[in-house]
Amino acid sequence: MVEVEVVEVEEPAASDFVGASVPIGVEVPGVPVDGGKVGALVGGMVEVVVVGVLQDACAAAGIPAVSLWAAVPHYVAQPPCPKATLALLARIEDLLDVPVPLGELPDEARAGQIGVDELAGEDALQVADGARTGVIEQTRRHSLLVSLLGVPHLVICVNKMDLVGYDQEVFDRIRAEFEEFASRLDLQDVTFLPISALAGDNVVTRSPNMPWFEGSTLLHHLENVYTASDDNRIDTRFPVQYVIRPQRADYPDYRGYAGRVAGGMLRVGDEVMVLPSGLTSVITGIDSPLGPVEQAGPGAAVTVLLQDDLSISRGDMLCRPNNRPRVAQELEAMVCWMDDASPLQTNKIYSVKHTSRVVRAKFTDVLYRLNISNLHRETDVTGLQMNEVGRVTLHTTAPLMFDDYHQNRSTGCFIIVDEATGQTAGAGMLLSPRT
């Protein structure tokens, strides 16, 4: 089946990852290793190698250390992966010049490779047949979630074009089918790309196999899409994560409020209000990881100093006195349910994590469930199963300071935790009440 992959492009550009510092890597086909630096663009998604904290500390202390990694296909990413383990052990043997007992690992790796080849073969057959079936349900579900999440830029990659002979008619048909479905969604900027991740067509360089496509490559698009205007720089929101009081001789009176700016701008000299108390004060200083600054915008992690010694704790929020978020305990939200063990149940107690605040809550009603295929609202429901999306009402034990999700995604989102299992059960987007 020709697969339609939905790619969210709010992530950093691929060029930010190419050349990420890794002392030593395991060489995997399709992943360049150059001078101790590794970068990869696999299957249309950027793969990142993150150097561990211990390795970084060893490097800073002058202690020799290495970071080893191996890339595996997405459809076999569930551990264990004997072939990846075998590759890592082989590199360890090379580095240490010490044999490592492998036991039955080589046989397990060979058996695993046979299983992977079978999966790939089945996938290829499905892709070839999918040119007739069109956009699959998973793509519809992902597109609906992207719409609900308010992702401003969307890339639709029609992958595995090599299996349909790079046929433009196949691409055009899938594009038209998706556009017809998406016409009922709130999608603002949608770009379509025909690619072959396996052959590299239109991933990094333009493909000679598809001269009919005049758009940019995937990498070029990801690196050049304009995202600076996507932040909310109007509504000042600063959820307090931690109160810093060193109580040291060199900082006898220091009292700072640490967090991440969720919207608007914080400036020294600005008057702010503390919610939910409603007390006001003036910003006298803003400390950043690089030292004091005069202002901080969305996404900045800073510590705010106030003129007055107020009672402020984790979960409180700083805002402008004349531009406040909503404060309520009776809420409406769109919820995507993720728990395969237990459906969403009304009147059951859950934990809700919103910004830096954690409260208990129960769902009082399921207003409707969205049908993924036709986007119809189904009202004859009392709960939500795994992967279902619906509009609900909920009551919290303490008020939340929030904005409509489409106004500010940072203050409009929350996650739901099942208190009995500790598992993340769902994610929600707060909405203004219907009138």
**Overall number of domains in the chain:** 4
**Mean model confidence pLDDT for the chain:** 79
Q: For residue 75, is pLDDT > 60?
A: no
Exposure letters 138-164 (e unless 16+ CB within 10 A, then b) = ebbbbbbbbbbbbbbbbbbbbbbbbbb
Same domain, 285 and 346: no
Domain containing 179 equals 134-229
Number of CB atoms found within 10 A of residue 429's CB: 22
What confidence category does residue 29 fall into, taking pLDDT thresholds of 50, 70 and 90? very low
Residue 416 has, within 13 A of its CA and on its CB side, a CA count of 28
Q: What is the pLDDT of residue 337?
A: 94
The pLDDT of residue 13? 36
Average pLDDT in the 345-356 region?
Answer: 94
Residue that is last in its domain, among 127, 159, 191: 127
Check residue 251 and report its DSSP letter: B
Q: Look up residue 203 and give its DSSP letter.
A: T
Residue 4 lies in a domain: no
Min mean pLDDT across 11-25, 99-113, 167-181, 204-218 is at 11-25
Whether the CB-CB separation of 196 and 165 falls below 8 Å is answered with no
Return the minimum-mean-pLDDT range out of 33-37, 132-136, 228-232, 333-337.
Answer: 33-37
User: Is residue 1 a part of any domain in this protein?
Assistant: no
Q: For residue 400, is pLDDT > 90?
A: yes
Residue 360 has pLDDT above 90, yes or no: yes
Global pTM value: 0.59
The whole-number average pLDDT for the span 20-47 is: 34
Here the CATH number for the domain that contains residue 375 is: 2.40.30.10
DSSP 66-101: --------GGG-SSP-HHHHHHHHHHHHHHHT----
Judge if 113 and 21 occupy the same domain.
yes
User: Strands, E, within 37-169: which ranges?
Assistant: 37-38, 40-42, 45-47, 153-158
pLDDT at 224: 86
**Whether residue 254 sits in one domain with residue 286:** yes
154 lies in the same domain as 241: no
422 CB contacts (<8 Å, ≥6 apart)? none
Query: Is 410 a domain residue?
Result: yes
Q: Kindly state the DSSP code that residue 12 receives in the 8-state scheme.
A: P
Residue 352 covered by a domain: yes
Residues 263 and 304 in one domain: yes
* Predicted pLDDT of residue 52: 64
Last residue in a domain, options 271, 296, 319: 319
pLDDT band at 3 (very low <50, low <70, confident <90, very high): very low
Look at residue 325 in the predicted model and tell me its pLDDT. Answer: 94
Same structural domain, 30 and 97: yes
CB atoms within 10 A of CB 347: 9
**Can you tell me which residue has the tokens 């063990």?**
341
219: its two tokens = 């990498």
What is the torsional sign of CA 150, 153, 159, 161? Answer: positive
**109-118, 158-167, 412-421: which has the minimum mean pLDDT?**
109-118
| pLDDT tens profile 245-290 | 987 888 888 999 999 999 999 999 999 999 999 999 999 999 999 9
Task: Give mean pLDDT, residues 220-241.
Answer: 83
Is pLDDT at 116 greater than 70 in this prediction? no
* Same domain, residue pair 100 and 144: no
Answer yes or no: is pLDDT of 309 > 70: yes
**pLDDT confidence tier of residue 372, bands split at 50, 70 and 90:** confident
- Before 399, cis peptide (omega within 30)? no
What does the block give as tokens for 188?
A: 């603002």
Is the pLDDT reported for residue 191 higher than 50?
A: yes
Instruction: Give 381-396 pLDDT, tens digit per residue.
Output: 989 999 899 999 999 9
The CA distance from 364 to 345, in Å, is 9
Which CATH number goes with the domain that contains 148?
A: 3.40.50.300
Q: Which residue has the higher pLDDT, 237 or 95?
A: 237
The phi, psi pair for 30, rounded to 5°, reads 90, -5
Using DSSP bridges, classify how beta strands 153-158 and 189-194 pair: parallel, antiparallel or unpaired.
Answer: parallel
Distances (CA, A) of 225 to 164, 284, 410, 426: 29, 37, 21, 30
DSSP symbol at 190: E
Residue 404 structure tokens? 């409509």
* DSSP type of residue 417: E
Which value, to the nearest 10 degrees, does the dihedral of the CA atoms of residues 295, 297, 301, 305 take? 40
**pLDDT > 90 fraction of the chain, expressed in percent and rounded:** 42
